[in-house]
Amino acid sequence: MRKSLAIGALLLATTLGAQAQPSLVQPQDKTQSSPRLSSDVQARAKRLSDQMARDLRLNGYQSTKLRAINEDKVAKMAAIERRNAGNAKLIDEQCGLVCKERDQELRAVLSTDQYSDYYDSRSDFYRFDKDFAARAVNTSFVNSVQNPLPASSKGATIGPASTPAPATRSTNVRGR
């Protein structure tokens, strides 16, 4: 009885010890965008915001608000484009809804004249953003071909190896 209890305790301790050890291979979280993608989205939003601020002659406060709005909307549009890749009709439909959200938010930031100018130029801004996004996708495709991930990575990343403790010689020698 004691022997089976001791064996059970040993198995439990071994199992818990194995679970506490961190794994060196960590799967990539595919629900989050990669850091490179976020910088692409930020660059896309910055470029669009700069163009809009120039064309609409915005002041500093309006430009700051516009940048925040565009970062949010461009991130949503990039997610839609990734999720529905290959279905241009669905992408345009869903991105159109995001653009309507932007219209409502910009109404509170822009003057009446500026909003009128923006409203008249919406299709130009949309095309400007789409052209930049298409060029960014082509650039990242070329980069992925030039610098491919290892064939067997399956999205996993390898963490730094832990150094094993140096082996010590036992002072207990059998027979002594």
Long-range contacts for 130-135 (Cβ within 8 Å, ≥24 apart)?
132/44, 132/47, 132/48, 133/44, 133/77, 133/78, 133/81
pLDDT at 112 over 50: yes
The chain-wide mean pLDDT, for the chain, equals: 75
Q: What is the pLDDT of residue 36?
A: 47
CA-based R_g, the chain, Å: 28
SS3 state of residue 84: coil
CA separation for the pair 159, 154 (Å, rounded): 15
17-43 per-residue burial string, b: 16 or more CB within 10 A, e: under 16: eeeeeeeeeeeeeeeebeeebeebbee
Instruction: Residue 43: name the closest of 84, 77, 74 by CA.
Output: 74
Q: Return the DSSP state at 147.
A: S
**Is the pLDDT reported for residue 143 higher than 70?**
no
Measured in whole angstroms, how far is the alpha carbon of residue 32 from the centre of its chain? 5
How sure is the predictor about 26, in pLDDT bands with cuts at 50, 70 and 90?
very low
